[in-house]
Amino acid sequence: MMAEIGKDIKKAASLLSSGKLVAIPTETVYGLAGNALDEGAVLDIFKTKQRPSFDPLIIHLRDIDQVRAYVDAIPEELEQLAQKFWPGPLTLLLPKKDMISDLVTSGLDTVGVRVPRHPLTRKLLHRLDFPLAAPSANPFGYISPTSAQHVQDQLGGQVPYILDGGACDIGLESTIVGMEQGQVVIYRLGGTSVQDIESVVGKVLILPQSSSNPKSPGMLKSHYAPRKPLLLGHLDELIESHRQKGIVFAVLSFQRSFPEQPSELQYALSPEGDYDEAARNLFSAMRALDSSNAEIILAEELPEIHLGKAINDRLRRASAR
């Protein structure tokens, strides 16, 4: 069963509003779009792309006024870039408001936001009352799609609708820009040139990186680490050895509960063994145990199926200090 390809904005809006995914055209590449405020839709993006980790997603909005509803602040230099280059191939990394889920940002407190330039997608965004999370519409590790047919060839059996906006103008992902210690930083080179950016804000810092995700978290093995040490292994053995040493510990498990462990010092990601639920709960569970009085968090890996791979990726990074 292949996807339907067409130019019906009303149909695309209806599918997105009901939690489905739709491939959308932008001036950079085609995106695999879902409601950024719907965790189920966001999880479907990761599953459909077979993304091996919860890399942060960029959210697409209709204009800078809508952006302000989802971020805490826009520093002056980034505001200047937005005024100059939006709509266009520029993503700004900004402090997020709580309504943007940790699943979208991979537990980071910043979110990548962009106002795309493609006329069809702009019309679509004006029909919606929510932003769209939309990484490139291809399985992880494949070449990014720049036409509706590319999406059909790679993901056609997994999305109901591809909004056909013709060939992408730019064919290269957006440039990702943020601020660190008052300095404008480029996290990913892309469709807005360094020269154009520097013509507005002066000299910028370009971070060397090989990963495409905003804030380049994939580069830092321990980027997702809680403040407390997190130890991965066989839970029964870890619990026994830490109990003997008299260390106060918290337990993060896939399904199990531990009767001798205080309830505030344990978290089962999904008692029913549901991988989607476990993924939804991962970041909040780590935060809850990190703010407990435990000295260390003991955790176990999940089976390497479904979203288990992505969850394990995050747990390994959190334990990599």
Residue 28 assigned as binding residue: yes
Question: Are the CB atoms for 241 and 298 separated by under 8 Å?
Answer: no
Question: pLDDT grade, residue 312 (50/70/90)?
Answer: confident
What's the pLDDT tens digit per position in 233-254?
Answer: 999 999 999 999 999 999 999 9
Q: From CA 98, how far away is CA 72, in angstroms rounded?
A: 9
Give me the domains of the chain, ranges plus CATH numbers: 4-172 (3.90.870.10), 230-318 (3.40.50.11030)
Radius of gyration of the chain (CA): 21
Residue 253 assigned as binding residue: no
Residue 110 assigned as binding residue: yes
What's the pLDDT tens digit per position in 74-102?
Answer: 999 999 999 999 999 999 999 999 999 99
Residue 114 assigned as binding residue: yes
- In terms of average pLDDT, the best of 9-23, 207-221, 279-293, 306-320 is 9-23
User: Tokens standing for 270?
Assistant: 């999904």
Q: From CA 238, how far away is CA 234, in angstroms rounded?
A: 6
First CA to last CA across the chain, in angstroms?
45
Closest CA to 205 of 193, 187, 223: 187
Residue 287 assigned as binding residue: no
Per-residue pLDDT, 215: 55
pTM of the complete model: 0.83
Residue 234 assigned as binding residue: no
Cα–Cα–Cα angle for 147, 7, 126, rounded to 5 degrees:
105
Which 3 state secondary structure label does DSSP give 49? Answer: helix
User: Tokens standing for 183?
Assistant: 């300095």
Across residues 31-58, what is the average pLDDT? 91
Residue 219 has pLDDT above 60, yes or no: no
Residue 144 assigned as binding residue: yes
Residue 269 has pLDDT above 80, yes or no: yes
Residue 175 assigned as binding residue: no
Residue 280 assigned as binding residue: no
Across residues 300-316, what is the average pLDDT? 85
Residue 223 assigned as binding residue: no
Across residues 277-289, what is the average pLDDT? 86
Kindly give the residue spans of alpha helices, DSSP state H, lying in 190-274: 194-201, 235-244
> What single string gives the DSSP state of each residue in 196-210?
HHHHHH---EE---S
Per-residue pLDDT, 208: 66
Residue 62 assigned as binding residue: no
Residue with tokens 């943020």: 178
**Based on the number of CB atoms within 10 Å of its own CB, is 240 exposed (0-12), middle (13-18) or buried (19 or more)?**
exposed
Across residues 145-161, what is the average pLDDT? 94
> CA-CA distances (angstroms) from residue 208 to 106, 141, 162, 211?
21, 20, 34, 9
Q: Please provide the average confidence, as pLDDT, over all residues in the chain.
A: 91
Q: From CA 170, how far away is CA 275, in angstroms rounded?
A: 37
Question: Picking from 63-67, 264-268, 278-282, 296-300, which range would have the lowest pLDDT averaged per residue?
Answer: 278-282
